[in-house]
């Protein structure tokens, strides 16, 4: 264990004490102060899998508990501040261990009071909404949303049946299966989501959890990317969970292409992902750029794993940035698909990778050229064939 519970309490109390001495401070200022004041040991400073010191990852993770306990606030833009209750806690719990236990107990009480008897868990995707990653906006402003860009503004007391008919009319231009999926996600968001439900979303290779805190609303959003909204209290905006570290069966469940997906069957597993004292988190990271204008460079770790040169991977990444597509050509069994999937997961996150396989009867020429015009069976007509 790189950092003990006793030391976690020391970091937590020192961090809140530092905030109590100032009106507010940024997250980075708090971290810098702790590094100077607490003098982390070499073991505590060992890098985690994302090359961050373990003490920093653990502190950011457990600071969620102080927020839920009402001892401090995080405004979503990286600014932290102590609350009157936090100042009182510093006076009431002078030793780090009692301070840590009190924070954990307060978090548990908040958790009990915030959870109704029947809760549900939902995946809501926001990493690519009309070409834009809106998850950073969700985290900063405390909500989740659906684009609903073609949907008329529903009245406040709209019923599920009325909303279904409205959505069918407004999205009548979609194909049958697309229309069905669109209507179901809108009805679920408005009529099935409830206060206390858990929201799970992904951004790049990170996973964020939050709790629905209010009713839905309809706004005319920028670009029509987030018209239907629900207020959400995000649990781990400062300490995202690493997608690669998710326990089974969540990775397989999140491979679904649905914008909204009911994950209630895995509610207990999802709840356990973000708890201030429930084990060590895998990562804490700042979310990357919201728009995929350029893909990040492939990592050295990927090159090592695939036994290929990093310059070659970088060349493939450059081609994807320039052409938005790349074709690996070669005999069967040489690792083309394996490398493609690993590279894609490294560039955009495994939750955004989907494998589409063609029937083996298709040739490379068929794949490149596609369907070609040919004389039809009747005179003067045209058909298409491979």
User: Is residue 326 very low, low, confident or very high in pLDDT (cuts 50, 70, 90)?
Assistant: confident
373 forms beta bridges with: 384
Element (H, E) at 99: helix 96-114
pLDDT in tens, 198-237: 999 999 889 999 999 999 999 999 899 999 999 999 988 8
366, two tokens: 């068929």
Residues 85 and 155 in one domain: no
Structural domain includes residue 277:
no
Q: Is the pLDDT of residue 344 over 50?
A: yes
Structural domain includes residue 283:
no
Residues 74 and 105 in one domain: yes
Q: Is the pLDDT of residue 364 over 90?
A: no
The structure's pTM equals 0.55
Query: Could you tell me the CA-to-CA distances from 20 to 37, 56, 98, 173 in Å, in that order?
Result: 15, 20, 18, 57
CA torsion sign for 136, 142, 144, 148 is negative
Residues 321 and 261 in one domain: no
Closest residue by Cα to residue 71 from 93, 40, 56, 54: 93
Residues 56 and 133 in one domain: no
Residues 134 and 260 in one domain: yes
User: Is residue 288 very low, low, confident or very high in pLDDT (cuts 50, 70, 90)?
Assistant: very low
C-beta pairs of 159-163 under 8 Å, 24+ apart in sequence: 159/191, 160/187, 160/190, 160/191, 163/187, 163/190, 163/191
pLDDT of 174 reads 93
Burial code (b: 16+ CB inside 10 Å, e: under 16) for 297-322 equals ebeeebbeebebebeebeebbeebee
Number of domains in the chain: 3
Residues 95 and 154 in one domain: no
Residues in the chain: 386
The chain-wide mean pLDDT, for the chain, equals: 85
User: Is residue 115 very low, low, confident or very high in pLDDT (cuts 50, 70, 90)?
Assistant: low
Residues 185 and 250 in one domain: yes
Residues 19 and 72 in one domain: yes
Q: Which of 69, 98, 114 is the last residue of a domain?
A: 114
Q: Which of 114, 144, 175 is the last residue of a domain?
A: 114
Percent of the chain clearing pLDDT 90 (strictly above) = 41
Domain with 366, as residue range(s), is 294-386
């Amino acid at each position: 264990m790189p950092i003990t519970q006793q030391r976690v309490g020391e970091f937590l109390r020192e961090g809140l004490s530092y905030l109590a001495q100032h009106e507010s401070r940024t997250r980075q200022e708090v971290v810098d102060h702790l590094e100077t004041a607490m003098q982390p040991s070499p073991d505590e400073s060992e890098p985690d899998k994302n090359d961050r010191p373990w003490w920093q990852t653990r502190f950011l993770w457990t600071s969620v508990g102080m927020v839920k306990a009402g001892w401090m606030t995080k405004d979503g833009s990286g600014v932290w501040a102590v609350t009157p209750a936090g100042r009182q806690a510093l006076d009431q719990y002078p030793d780090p261990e009692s301070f840590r236990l009190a924070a954990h107990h307060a978090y548990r009480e908040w958790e009990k009071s915030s959870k109704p008897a029947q809760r549900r868990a939902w995946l809501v995707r926001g990493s690519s909404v009309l070409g834009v990653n809106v998850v950073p906006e969700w985290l900063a402003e405390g909500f989740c949303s659906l684009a609903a860009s073609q949907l008329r503004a529903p009245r406040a007391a709209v019923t599920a049946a009325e909303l279904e008919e409205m959505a069918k009319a407004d999205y009548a231009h979609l194909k049958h299966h697309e229309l069905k999926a669109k209507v179901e996600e809108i009805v679920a968001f408005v009529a099935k989501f409830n206060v206390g439900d858990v929201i799970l979303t992904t951004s790049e290779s990170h996973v964020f959890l939050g709790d629905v805190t209010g009713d839905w609303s309809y706004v005319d959003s920028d670009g029509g990317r987030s018209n239907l909204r629900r207020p959400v209290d995000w649990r781990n905006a400062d300490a995202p969970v690493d997608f690669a570290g998710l326990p089974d069966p969540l990775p397989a469940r999140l491979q679904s292409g649905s914008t909204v997906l009911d994950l209630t069957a895995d509610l207990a597993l999802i709840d356990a992902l973000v708890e201030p004292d429930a084990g060590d988190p895998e990562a804490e990271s700042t979310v990357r750029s919201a728009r995929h204008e350029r893909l990040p460079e492939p990592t050295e770790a990927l090159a090592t794993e695939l036994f290929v040169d990093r310059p070659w991977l970088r060349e493939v990444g450059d081609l994807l940035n320039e052409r938005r597509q790349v074709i690996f050509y070669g005999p069967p069994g040489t690792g083309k698909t394996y490398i493609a999937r690993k590279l894609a997961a490294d560039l955009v996150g495994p939750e955004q990778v989907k494998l589409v396989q063609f029937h083996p009867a298709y040739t490379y020429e068929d794949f490149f050229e596609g369907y070609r015009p040919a004389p039809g069976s009747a005179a003067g007509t045209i058909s298409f064939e491979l």
